[in-house]
Protein backbone atom coordinates (compact mmCIF):
# COMPACT_ATOMS: atom_id res chain seq x y z
CA UNK A 1 0.00 0.00 0.00
CA UNK A 2 2.83 2.40 0.97
CA UNK A 3 4.69 1.58 -2.23
CA UNK A 4 1.53 2.17 -4.27
CA UNK A 5 1.00 5.60 -2.70
CA UNK A 6 4.57 6.67 -3.41
CA UNK A 7 4.35 5.32 -6.96
CA UNK A 8 1.16 7.30 -7.57
CA UNK A 9 2.80 10.39 -6.09
CA UNK A 10 5.80 10.03 -8.37
CA UNK A 11 3.57 9.39 -11.39
CA UNK A 12 1.54 12.49 -10.62
CA UNK A 13 4.66 14.60 -10.16
CA UNK A 14 6.07 13.53 -13.50
CA UNK A 15 2.73 13.83 -15.30
CA UNK A 16 1.98 17.26 -13.88
CA UNK A 17 5.24 18.61 -15.22
CA UNK A 18 4.88 17.04 -18.66
CA UNK A 19 1.30 18.31 -18.94
CA UNK A 20 2.55 21.85 -18.45
CA UNK A 21 1.10 22.68 -15.04
CA UNK A 22 4.16 24.88 -14.55
CA UNK A 23 4.49 27.63 -17.13
CA UNK A 24 7.98 26.43 -17.99
CA UNK A 25 10.82 24.50 -16.39
CA UNK A 26 12.91 27.58 -15.79
CA UNK A 27 11.47 27.45 -12.30
CA UNK A 28 12.90 25.74 -9.23
CA UNK A 29 10.98 22.68 -8.03
CA UNK A 30 11.27 21.59 -4.40
CA UNK A 31 9.75 18.51 -2.74
CA UNK A 32 10.12 16.77 0.62
CA UNK A 33 9.63 17.22 4.34
CA UNK A 34 6.43 18.71 5.76
CA UNK A 35 8.52 20.07 8.64
CA UNK A 36 10.89 22.00 6.37
CA UNK A 37 7.99 23.03 4.10
CA UNK A 38 7.00 26.25 5.97
CA UNK A 39 10.63 27.41 6.04
CA UNK A 40 11.19 26.62 2.36
CA UNK A 41 7.90 28.31 1.44
CA UNK A 42 8.87 31.49 3.31
CA UNK A 43 12.27 31.62 1.56
CA UNK A 44 10.62 30.91 -1.81
CA UNK A 45 8.14 33.76 -1.36
CA UNK A 46 10.93 36.20 -0.48
CA UNK A 47 13.01 34.87 -3.36
CA UNK A 48 10.17 35.52 -5.82
CA UNK A 49 9.74 39.08 -4.55
CA UNK A 50 13.40 40.05 -4.25
CA UNK A 51 14.96 38.50 -7.37
CA UNK A 52 14.26 38.38 -11.11
CA UNK A 53 13.41 34.68 -10.88
CA UNK A 54 10.03 33.01 -10.48
CA UNK A 55 8.87 31.87 -7.06
CA UNK A 56 9.97 28.23 -6.61
CA UNK A 57 7.27 25.56 -6.53
CA UNK A 58 7.34 23.87 -3.10
CA UNK A 59 5.53 20.55 -2.51
CA UNK A 60 5.10 18.78 0.83
CA UNK A 61 5.59 15.09 0.07
CA UNK A 62 7.31 13.89 3.24
CA UNK A 63 11.04 13.24 3.50
CA UNK A 64 10.81 9.72 2.08
CA UNK A 65 8.51 10.73 -0.76
CA UNK A 66 10.78 13.64 -1.61
CA UNK A 67 13.86 11.41 -1.73
CA UNK A 68 12.06 9.02 -4.08
CA UNK A 69 11.26 11.83 -6.51
CA UNK A 70 14.64 13.58 -6.17
CA UNK A 71 16.64 10.38 -6.73
CA UNK A 72 14.61 9.18 -9.73
CA UNK A 73 16.91 10.81 -12.26
CA UNK A 74 18.39 13.95 -13.77
CA UNK A 75 15.51 14.49 -16.18
CA UNK A 76 14.06 17.96 -15.62
CA UNK A 77 10.72 16.37 -14.81
CA UNK A 78 12.16 15.60 -11.38
CA UNK A 79 12.83 17.98 -8.49
CA UNK A 80 15.93 20.14 -8.13
CA UNK A 81 15.79 20.16 -4.33
CA UNK A 82 14.39 17.86 -1.67
CA UNK A 83 13.83 18.91 1.94
CA UNK A 84 14.36 16.39 4.72
CA UNK A 85 13.75 16.28 8.45
CA UNK A 86 16.48 13.66 8.79
CA UNK A 87 19.69 12.89 6.91
CA UNK A 88 19.57 11.09 3.57
CA UNK A 89 19.73 7.32 4.05
CA UNK A 90 22.44 5.17 2.47
CA UNK A 91 19.88 3.29 0.36
CA UNK A 92 18.48 6.60 -0.94
CA UNK A 93 21.97 7.80 -1.75
CA UNK A 94 22.62 4.56 -3.64
CA UNK A 95 19.39 5.02 -5.60
CA UNK A 96 20.49 8.54 -6.56
CA UNK A 97 23.87 7.23 -7.71
CA UNK A 98 22.28 4.40 -9.71
CA UNK A 99 19.95 6.86 -11.45
CA UNK A 100 22.70 9.30 -12.40
CA UNK A 101 22.04 11.83 -9.61
CA UNK A 102 25.68 11.99 -8.58
CA UNK A 103 26.61 15.58 -7.74
CA UNK A 104 24.55 16.27 -4.62
CA UNK A 105 24.95 19.18 -2.23
CA UNK A 106 23.87 18.49 1.36
CA UNK A 107 22.80 21.55 3.36
CA UNK A 108 21.99 21.49 7.07
CA UNK A 109 19.36 24.18 7.66
CA UNK A 110 18.98 24.19 11.45
CA UNK A 111 17.26 22.18 14.16
CA UNK A 112 13.73 21.28 15.11
CA UNK A 113 12.04 19.61 18.05
CA UNK A 114 9.37 16.94 17.68
CA UNK A 115 6.49 17.63 20.01
CA UNK A 116 3.64 15.65 21.47
CA UNK A 117 0.96 18.31 21.73
CA UNK A 118 -2.67 18.59 22.79
CA UNK A 119 -5.40 21.20 23.10
CA UNK A 120 -4.91 24.04 25.58
CA UNK A 121 -8.35 23.13 26.90
CA UNK A 122 -6.91 19.88 28.26
CA UNK A 123 -4.34 19.19 30.98
CA UNK A 124 -0.74 19.50 29.83
CA UNK A 125 1.09 16.17 29.72
CA UNK A 126 4.40 15.62 31.50
CA UNK A 127 5.98 12.28 30.69
CA UNK A 128 9.18 10.36 30.30
CA UNK A 129 10.51 8.75 27.13
CA UNK A 130 9.62 5.44 28.75
CA UNK A 131 5.98 6.60 29.01
CA UNK A 132 5.97 7.52 25.32
CA UNK A 133 7.37 4.13 24.34
CA UNK A 134 4.98 2.14 26.53
CA UNK A 135 2.01 4.07 25.14
CA UNK A 136 2.86 3.65 21.46
CA UNK A 137 4.98 0.51 20.98
CA UNK A 138 3.45 -2.50 19.26
CA UNK A 139 5.10 -4.87 21.75
CA UNK A 140 6.54 -4.01 25.13
CA UNK A 141 9.31 -5.65 27.19
CA UNK A 142 8.70 -7.34 30.50
CA UNK A 143 11.16 -7.36 33.36
CA UNK A 144 11.83 -11.10 32.88
CA UNK A 145 13.28 -10.64 29.41
CA UNK A 146 10.19 -11.33 27.32
CA UNK A 147 7.86 -9.22 25.18
CA UNK A 148 4.07 -9.01 25.12
CA UNK A 149 1.55 -7.26 22.86
CA UNK A 150 0.92 -3.75 24.18
CA UNK A 151 -1.96 -4.02 26.71
CA UNK A 152 -2.27 -0.34 27.58
CA UNK A 153 -5.43 1.49 26.55
CA UNK A 154 -5.27 4.59 28.76
CA UNK A 155 -2.45 6.95 29.73
CA UNK A 156 -3.08 6.22 33.42
CA UNK A 157 -2.32 2.54 32.81
CA UNK A 158 1.07 3.59 31.41
CA UNK A 159 1.81 5.90 34.34
CA UNK A 160 -0.53 6.53 37.32
CA UNK A 161 0.44 10.22 37.20
CA UNK A 162 -1.03 10.64 33.70
CA UNK A 163 -4.73 11.24 32.84
CA UNK A 164 -7.20 8.34 32.66
CA UNK A 165 -8.06 9.25 29.06
CA UNK A 166 -7.79 6.81 26.17
CA UNK A 167 -4.44 6.75 24.37
CA UNK A 168 -5.09 8.26 20.95
CA UNK A 169 -2.24 9.86 19.00
CA UNK A 170 -2.25 11.41 15.54
CA UNK A 171 1.10 11.21 13.80
CA UNK A 172 3.01 11.08 10.53
CA UNK A 173 3.20 8.07 8.16
CA UNK A 174 6.32 5.92 7.57
CA UNK A 175 7.39 8.13 4.62
CA UNK A 176 7.86 11.07 6.99
CA UNK A 177 11.23 12.16 8.36
CA UNK A 178 9.37 13.25 11.48
CA UNK A 179 8.23 9.65 11.97
CA UNK A 180 11.80 8.37 11.45
CA UNK A 181 13.19 10.82 13.98
CA UNK A 182 10.38 10.21 16.47
CA UNK A 183 10.92 6.45 16.61
CA UNK A 184 14.69 6.89 16.85
CA UNK A 185 14.71 9.60 19.51
CA UNK A 186 11.52 9.10 21.52
CA UNK A 187 10.54 5.46 21.04
CA UNK A 188 14.06 4.03 21.17
CA UNK A 189 14.95 6.44 23.95
CA UNK A 190 12.20 4.93 26.09
CA UNK A 191 12.77 1.36 24.92
CA UNK A 192 16.40 1.20 26.02
CA UNK A 193 15.49 2.15 29.59
CA UNK A 194 14.91 -1.60 29.95
CA UNK A 195 18.41 -2.90 30.71
CA UNK A 196 18.03 -6.23 28.92
CA UNK A 197 16.73 -4.48 25.80
CA UNK A 198 19.65 -2.05 25.80
CA UNK A 199 22.05 -5.01 26.06
CA UNK A 200 20.29 -6.67 23.11
CA UNK A 201 21.45 -3.86 20.83
CA UNK A 202 24.95 -5.39 20.90
CA UNK A 203 23.84 -9.00 20.47
CA UNK A 204 20.89 -8.74 18.09
CA UNK A 205 20.61 -5.29 16.52
CA UNK A 206 17.82 -6.34 14.15
CA UNK A 207 15.58 -7.60 16.97
CA UNK A 208 16.43 -4.54 19.05
CA UNK A 209 15.39 -2.18 16.27
CA UNK A 210 12.21 -4.14 15.54
CA UNK A 211 11.12 -3.95 19.17
CA UNK A 212 12.09 -0.33 19.78
CA UNK A 213 11.00 1.20 16.47
CA UNK A 214 7.68 -0.54 15.74
CA UNK A 215 4.60 1.54 16.49
CA UNK A 216 1.37 -0.23 17.43
CA UNK A 217 -1.23 -0.89 14.73
CA UNK A 218 -4.39 -1.36 16.78
CA UNK A 219 -5.93 2.05 16.19
CA UNK A 220 -4.20 3.86 19.06
CA UNK A 221 -1.71 5.52 16.71
CA UNK A 222 -3.49 7.11 13.75
CA UNK A 223 -1.52 8.01 10.62
CA UNK A 224 -2.58 11.53 9.66
CA UNK A 225 -0.66 12.03 6.42
CA UNK A 226 1.89 14.76 5.76
CA UNK A 227 -0.42 17.67 6.63
CA UNK A 228 0.64 18.86 10.09
CA UNK A 229 -1.87 21.71 9.97
CA UNK A 230 -4.63 19.11 9.80
CA UNK A 231 -3.30 17.47 12.99
CA UNK A 232 -3.33 20.86 14.73
CA UNK A 233 -6.96 21.36 13.65
CA UNK A 234 -7.98 17.95 15.04
CA UNK A 235 -6.32 18.70 18.37
CA UNK A 236 -8.38 21.87 18.63
CA UNK A 237 -11.63 20.00 17.98
CA UNK A 238 -10.85 17.01 20.26
CA UNK A 239 -9.15 17.81 23.57
CA UNK A 240 -8.55 14.12 24.41
CA UNK A 241 -6.10 13.35 21.59
CA UNK A 242 -2.43 14.15 21.13
CA UNK A 243 -0.53 14.90 17.93
CA UNK A 244 3.07 14.49 16.80
CA UNK A 245 4.69 17.18 14.62
CA UNK A 246 7.57 19.65 14.41
CA UNK A 247 8.13 22.50 16.88
CA UNK A 248 7.38 25.16 14.25
CA UNK A 249 3.71 24.11 14.11
CA UNK A 250 3.48 24.35 17.91
CA UNK A 251 5.20 27.72 17.86
CA UNK A 252 2.75 29.22 15.37
CA UNK A 253 -0.34 27.79 17.13
CA UNK A 254 0.44 28.46 20.79
CA UNK A 255 -2.93 30.16 21.25
CA UNK A 256 -4.65 26.80 20.60
CA UNK A 257 -2.30 23.96 21.54
CA UNK A 258 0.42 23.14 24.07
CA UNK A 259 3.49 20.92 23.93
CA UNK A 260 3.99 18.09 26.41
CA UNK A 261 6.91 18.19 28.85
CA UNK A 262 9.32 15.34 28.07
CA UNK A 263 11.92 14.19 30.62
CA UNK A 264 11.20 17.33 32.62
CA UNK A 265 11.90 19.70 29.73
CA UNK A 266 9.43 21.88 27.85
CA UNK A 267 9.63 22.05 24.03
CA UNK A 268 10.94 25.62 23.85
CA UNK A 269 13.27 27.37 21.44
CA UNK A 270 16.07 27.55 24.03
CA UNK A 271 15.68 23.97 25.25
CA UNK A 272 15.88 22.63 21.70
CA UNK A 273 18.82 24.87 20.79
CA UNK A 274 20.81 23.77 23.86
CA UNK A 275 19.88 20.09 23.54
CA UNK A 276 17.96 19.92 26.83
CA UNK A 277 14.76 18.87 25.09
CA UNK A 278 15.41 15.19 24.22
CA UNK A 279 13.34 14.84 21.03
CA UNK A 280 15.13 17.17 18.62
CA UNK A 281 16.79 16.63 15.23
CA UNK A 282 18.65 18.46 12.43
CA UNK A 283 16.88 19.60 9.26
CA UNK A 284 18.39 19.39 5.76
CA UNK A 285 17.84 20.01 2.10
CA UNK A 286 19.62 18.38 -0.85
CA UNK A 287 20.39 20.01 -4.19
CA UNK A 288 21.26 18.65 -7.64
CA UNK A 289 24.41 20.66 -8.30
CA UNK A 290 24.29 19.99 -12.05
CA UNK A 291 20.95 21.80 -12.19
CA UNK A 292 22.54 24.99 -10.90
CA UNK A 293 23.78 25.61 -14.42
CA UNK A 294 20.40 24.79 -15.97
CA UNK A 295 17.62 26.08 -13.70
CA UNK A 296 17.80 29.84 -13.35
CA UNK A 297 18.11 31.04 -9.76
CA UNK A 298 18.84 27.67 -8.14
CA UNK A 299 22.21 28.73 -6.77
CA UNK A 300 20.74 32.05 -5.60
CA UNK A 301 17.87 30.24 -3.85
CA UNK A 302 20.33 28.06 -1.94
CA UNK A 303 22.39 31.11 -1.00
CA UNK A 304 19.29 32.95 0.21
CA UNK A 305 18.13 29.98 2.33
CA UNK A 306 21.55 29.65 4.00
CA UNK A 307 22.08 33.37 4.57
CA UNK A 308 22.12 34.74 8.11
CA UNK A 309 19.22 36.99 7.09
CA UNK A 310 17.08 33.87 6.58
CA UNK A 311 18.41 31.05 8.78
CA UNK A 312 20.84 32.83 11.09
CA UNK A 313 20.23 33.51 14.82
CA UNK A 314 18.33 36.71 14.02
CA UNK A 315 16.94 35.47 10.70
CA UNK A 316 13.31 35.66 9.70
CA UNK A 317 12.95 31.86 9.79
CA UNK A 318 13.38 31.89 13.57
CA UNK A 319 10.01 33.66 13.69
CA UNK A 320 8.59 30.57 11.96
CA UNK A 321 10.09 28.24 14.58
CA UNK A 322 13.43 27.26 13.04
CA UNK A 323 16.19 26.65 15.60
CA UNK A 324 19.33 28.08 13.96
CA UNK A 325 22.71 26.37 13.78
CA UNK A 326 25.37 27.39 16.27
CA UNK A 327 28.29 29.63 15.29
CA UNK A 328 30.66 26.73 14.54
CA UNK A 329 28.16 24.86 12.36
CA UNK A 330 27.19 28.03 10.51
CA UNK A 331 30.86 28.70 9.79
CA UNK A 332 31.29 25.16 8.42
CA UNK A 333 28.19 25.61 6.28
CA UNK A 334 29.50 28.89 4.85
CA UNK A 335 32.76 27.20 3.83
CA UNK A 336 30.86 24.26 2.30
CA UNK A 337 28.70 26.67 0.31
CA UNK A 338 31.83 28.21 -1.24
CA UNK A 339 33.32 24.87 -2.30
CA UNK A 340 29.98 23.12 -3.07
CA UNK A 341 31.53 19.84 -1.98
CA UNK A 342 29.73 16.69 -3.11
CA UNK A 343 27.88 14.52 -0.60
CA UNK A 344 29.69 11.19 -0.14
CA UNK A 345 28.26 8.30 1.92
Find the DSSP H helices in the chain.
2-18, 37-50, 63-70, 90-98, 129-136, 155-158, 177-182, 188-191, 195-203, 205-213, 228-237, 247-251, 269-274, 298-305, 308-311, 327-339
Write down the pLDDT at residue 16. Answer: 46
CB of 261 closer than 8 Å to CB of 250 = no
The stretches in the chain having pLDDT less than 70 are 1-25
The pLDDT of residue 230: 84
Helix (H) or strand (E) segment spanning residue 125: none
Question: Is the domain of 139 the same as that of 127?
Answer: yes
| Same domain? 158 vs 256 | yes
My answer on whether 129 and 228 are in the same domain is yes
Q: Tens of pLDDT along 201-243?
A: 999 999 999 999 999 999 999 998 777 788 888 999 999 999 9
Helix axes 37-50, 298-305, angle to 10 degrees: 120
132 and 245: one domain?
A: yes
Final residue of a structural domain among 280, 309, 330: 280
Output the pLDDT for position 178.
Answer: 87
Say if residue 64 is in the same domain as residue 201.
no
Q: What is the secondary structure of 39-79 as a DSSP string?
A: HHHHHHHHHHHHSSSPPPEE----HHHHHHHHTT-SSTTS-
| Residue 344, domain member (yes or no) | no
Question: 68 and 147 share a domain?
Answer: no
Cα 133 from Cα 278, distance rounded (Å): 14
Check whether residue 273 and residue 320 sit in a common domain.
Answer: no
Tens-digit pLDDT profile for residues 63-109: 999 999 999 999 999 999 999 999 999 999 999 999 999 999 999 99
Report how many domains make up the chain. 2
Residue 177 has what pLDDT? 85
Residue 252, domain extent: 113-280
pLDDT for 211: 97
Amino acid sequence: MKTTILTLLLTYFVASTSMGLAEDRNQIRVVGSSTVYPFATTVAENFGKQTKYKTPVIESTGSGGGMKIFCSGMDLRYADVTNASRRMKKKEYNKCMNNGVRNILEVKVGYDGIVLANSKKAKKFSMSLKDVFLALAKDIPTEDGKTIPNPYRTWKQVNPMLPATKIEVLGPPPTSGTRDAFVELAMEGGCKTFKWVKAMKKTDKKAYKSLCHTIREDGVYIEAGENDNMIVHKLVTNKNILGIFGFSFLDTNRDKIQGSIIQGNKPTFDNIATGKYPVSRPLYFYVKKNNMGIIGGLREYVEMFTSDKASGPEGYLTDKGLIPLGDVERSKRSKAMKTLENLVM
